[in-house]
Amino acid sequence: MLVGQGLINGLLFGGVYSLMAVGLTLIFGVMRVVNFAHGDMMVWGMYLAFFLSTRLGLDPYASFPLCAGALFVLGFAVQRGLVDRIIDAPHEMQILLMLGVALVLENAALVGFGPDPRRVRSIFSLATVWIGPFFLDVVRLVTFALALALTGLLSLFLFKTDLGRSMRAAADNPYGAAIIGTDVRRVYAVAFGIGAACVGAAGALLAPFYPFQPSVGLSASVTSFNIVIIGGMGSLAGAFLGGLLVATAESLGAVFLSPSLKELVSFSLLVLILLFRPAGLLGRRPA
Amino acid sequence: MRWLAGAALLALLVLPPFAGSYPVTLATLIFFYAYLGQAWNILGGYAGQLSAGHAAFVGIGAYATAMLSISWGITPWIGMFAGAAAAGALGGVIGFLGFRFGLRGFYFVLLTVAFAEICRIVALNTEAIGGAVGLYITFTGDPWQFQFQNPRAYYYVALALMLLATAVVWALERSRLGAYLIAIREDEEAAEALGIDAFRCKLYASVLSAFLTGLGGAFYAYYHFSLQPNSLFGIPLSVEIIIRPIVGGSGTLLGPILGSFILSPLAELSRSYFAAAGWSGAHLIVYGGLLIAVVLFLPGGAYPFLARRARQWTGRR
C-alpha cells in the first residue's frame, strides 16, 4: 500500500526529472559540453514562476512557457557569449567555465532572492483525487502530464523539423554537418537554448509542490548528471527512462529508508551503472 | 630565483612574532588553502583529472581525526594520518570507478561531485558523528591535542603543510610517475601506446592527492573546532580548493601558492565586506566570474603568464 503510493508518487515526479535530464543530454549530445549550471538554470525558472505568480498573478501552469522562453534566451546567450569561444578547448576548460557560470547563477539568486524557501501557489494546489486506493495531488498529475507533453514535443522537433534534423546531424558529425551547409554555430546556440528551456520549464512545473531556495540548484544539477549517466550520456530515450527510474527509486528509498537518505539510492544506482554498464542503460559507448 | 625563494621563506619564518594577529590569521589561511590547492594540483593539474569534490577528502580527514581523538583518545598528531589514509582509500575507490573504463573528463568530475554529496548526506544522517548538529571539539590549548593558545603555532603548522605538499609535488615532477602523469594528461592514447599503464598512474595520483587533502582535514578540524557536514563536504569548499590552482596555474609547482596569495586575501576581504552588506553568496559570484575570466583569457593561469613576462623582461636587458 505504502509501496504502491511511493511508486506512483515517484513515477509522477519522474516526469520532471526526465524533462531536466533530456535538456542536459541534448546539450551534451549536440556539443559535448556538460552544463554544470543546469540545476541553477532550473532555479531561475522557479524564481521566474514565483515572481510571475506574486506580481502578475499568473498561475505557474500558465507561465511555464514564459519561463522556458526566458531560459532559452539565457542558454542561447551562454552558448554564444561564453561556450562558443572555447568549443574546441579541452573538456576541462569547458567544465571550469560552466562551473563558473553555475556559481554566478546560484549566488546571484542567493543575493537577489534570499535563502528563504519559496513555494508557488497554483489553482490546483489543494486539489486531490483518489485513484483506486491511492491518493494523488492534482498538481503532481498536471506537472507529470505537461512534462511528458513537452518531452514529446521536443522529440517531434528533433525528428520532424529541418532545424531538429540539422541538430542531430551536428551532434553526429559537426564537420559533415558544416560541409553540407549547416550553420553549426547557430545550431549549437539553439540546442543550448532548448536544453536550458527544458530545465526552465521543469523548474516552473516543479514550483507548485516543491519548496525551493537557491541551493537546490546544485542538487538538481547532480541529480540530472546522475540520470543522464544512468540513461547513457547523449541518449534522449535514456534520459527519459533514467528520469522515471531514478525518481521511482528515490521515492521507494524514501519509503523504505528515510526521506533524507533518498539521494543515496540514486547515487548507489550511479555506482552500480559505472561498475557494470558505464555506457549507461541506452548509451552506445562511453565517451 | 633560488635566492629570492630562500629570502621569502626566511621572512615567512621570522616575521610572525612581530606581526599582529590579523596578518598571522590571513597568512595561515593563505598557506592552508595553498596546501589544499597543491594537493589537488597532483590530480587536477599534473594528471589532468578534474576533481570537483575534493571537499570529501577534507571532510573525511577532519571527521576521522576528530572522532579518533574524541572517542578513543588518540592524539590528532597520529589520528591525522589515519584520517588521511581513509581519505586516500576513498580517492582510490573514486579513481577505480572513474578510471577503470578509461572514462574521460566529465565522468570523473560528476563522480567526484556525487561522492562528495554522498559523504555530506551520510554525515548529516549519522548521529554518532553529530549528524546535522555537527561535531564540536572542546578547546584545551594542549599542543599534544593539536590545540594552541597562540595563533602563530597554527601559522607554522600551515606553513609546514604548504612546504610539505610543495616538496611532494617537486619530487613528483622529477619522478617517473610525474612524467607519466603529464604524458597522460597531454595525450592518453599516445601515452598508453608507449606502454604507460594510464589506469594505474591516475589511480596513484588520485590516492596521493586524496591522502594529502585528508591530512589537511585534520588541520581544518583543529583550527575551526567545529565540523559541519554542509561546510566540510559542500561544493563551496571544493570550489575554494579548485580555484586557487586554476587561477595561479594548475600543473605548475608554484601555481597553487601564487593563486592562494592572490585569492585568499581577496576572499577574506570580499567575504567580510559582503557579509557586512548582508550578501552572503557574493564572494562566490566573484569566484564564478574569475573562473570564467581565467578560462577565457588566461587559460594556463597566472604563474605561466608571469613567468613568460619575467623571461621576456630579463631577456630584453
Task: Note whether A274 contacts B235, CB cutoff 8 Å.
Answer: no
Task: Give the chain A residue whose CA is nearest to the CA of B131.
Answer: A260
Minimal CA separation from A97 to chain B, in Å? 5
| Chain B CB contacts of A112 below 8 Å | none
A196-213 mean pLDDT: 88
Q: What is the pLDDT of residues B57-95, one digit of tens each?
A: 999 999 999 888 888 888 888 888 988 899 999 999 988
Cβ distance B233 to B120 under 8 Å? yes
Minimal CA separation from A87 to chain B, in Å? 11
Q: Indicate the pLDDT class of residue B317, thresholds 50, 70 and 90.
A: low
Minimal CA separation from B284 to chain A, in Å? 6
User: Of B1-5, B149-153, B170-174, which range is least confident?
Assistant: B1-5
Nearest CB partner across the interface for B285, out of A107, A261, A271: A107
**In Å, how far from its chain's centre is CA A189?**
17
Minimal CA separation from A141 to chain B, in Å? 29
Cβ distance B272 to A205 under 8 Å? no
Residue (of A101, A48, A47) closest to A75 by Cα position? A101
pLDDT of A285 > 70? The answer is no
Q: Could you tell me if residue A190 is inside a domain?
A: yes
Which A-chain residues 131-170 have CB contacts (< 8 A) with chain B?
none
**In Å, how far from its chain's centre is CA B80?**
15
CB of A257 within 8 Å of a chain B CB? The answer is no
Task: Note whether B285 contacts A108, CB cutoff 8 Å.
Answer: yes
pLDDT of A7 > 70? The answer is yes
Average pLDDT of chain B is 84
The H or E element spanning position A168 is: helix A162-172
State the alpha helices, DSSP H only, in B15-150: 21-40, 55-72, 76-99, 106-125
Cell of A22: 533530456
Q: What is the pLDDT of residues A22-57, one digit of tens each?
A: 999 888 888 888 888 999 999 999 999 998 888 888
Which residues are CB-contacts of B176 (< 8 A; sequence separation ≥ 6)? none
B196-221 mean pLDDT: 90
Q: Could you tell me if residue A75 is inside a domain?
A: yes
Cβ distance B25 to B179 under 8 Å? no
Nearest CB partner across the interface for B239, out of A103, A270, A278: A103
Task: Note whether A34 contacts B113, CB cutoff 8 Å.
Answer: no
Task: Give the chain B residue whose CA is nearest to the CA of A258.
Answer: B125
Task: Note whether A225 contacts B98, CB cutoff 8 Å.
Answer: no
| Chain B CB contacts of A226 below 8 Å | 110, 114
Share of chain B above pLDDT 90, in %: 18
Nearest CB partner across the interface for B106, out of A91, A104, A275: A91
CB of A52 within 8 Å of a chain B CB? The answer is no
Instruction: Please identify which residue in the block is written with the cell numbers 578560462.
Output: B295
What pLDDT sits at residue A287? 43
What pLDDT sits at residue A284? 64
Q: How many domains does chain A have?
A: 1
A135-156 mean pLDDT: 85
Minimal CA separation from A131 to chain B, in Å? 34
Nearest CB partner across the interface for B125, out of A85, A260, A270: A260
Q: Indicate the pLDDT class of residue B167, thresholds 50, 70 and 90.
A: very high
What pLDDT sits at residue B35? 93
Q: Could you tell me if residue A5 is inside a domain?
A: no
CB of A275 within 8 Å of a chain B CB? The answer is yes
Q: Could you tell me if residue A4 is inside a domain?
A: no
Which A-chain residues 22-41 have CB contacts (< 8 A) with chain B?
34
Backbone angles phi, psi at A7, to 5 degrees: -60, -45
Tell me the C-alpha distance between B19 and A233, whole Å.
Answer: 54
Q: Which domain holds residue A32?
A: 17-213
Task: Note whether A104 contacts B285, CB cutoff 8 Å.
Answer: yes
Minimal CA separation from B94 to chain A, in Å? 10
Q: Could you tell me if residue A128 is inside a domain?
A: yes
Tell me the C-alpha distance between A244 and A222, whole Å.
Answer: 16
What pLDDT sits at residue B37? 93
Q: Which of A128-137, A175-184, B298-307 has the highest mean pLDDT?
A: B298-307
What pLDDT sits at residue B102? 62
* pLDDT, greater one: B274 or A221: A221
The H or E element spanning position A31 is: helix A2-31
What pLDDT sits at residue A77? 92
Task: Note whether B289 contacts A82, CB cutoff 8 Å.
Answer: no
Backbone angles phi, psi at A216, to 5 degrees: -70, -15
Cell of A16: 520532471
Nearest CB partner across the interface for A218, out of B104, B235, B295: B235
Nearest CB partner across the interface for A100, out of B98, B107, B291: B291
CA A148 → CA A10, A72, B69, B202, distances in Å?
Answer: 14, 19, 53, 42
Q: What is the pLDDT of residues A48-90, one digit of tens each?
A: 999 888 888 888 888 888 988 999 999 999 998 888 888 887 7
Instruction: Please identify which residue in the block is written with the cell numbers 594529502.
Output: B212
A155-163 mean pLDDT: 87
User: Of A36-50, B48-62, B111-125, which range is least confident?
Assistant: B111-125
Q: DSSP code of B47?
A: S
What pTM value is reported for the model?
A: 0.85
Nearest CB partner across the interface for B282, out of A34, A100, A107: A107
B16-32 mean pLDDT: 83
pLDDT of A224 > 60? The answer is yes
The residues spanned by each domain of chain B are 19-234
Q: Indicate the pLDDT class of residue A206, thresholds 50, 70 and 90.
A: confident
Tell me the C-alpha distance between B18 and B171, whole Å.
Answer: 33
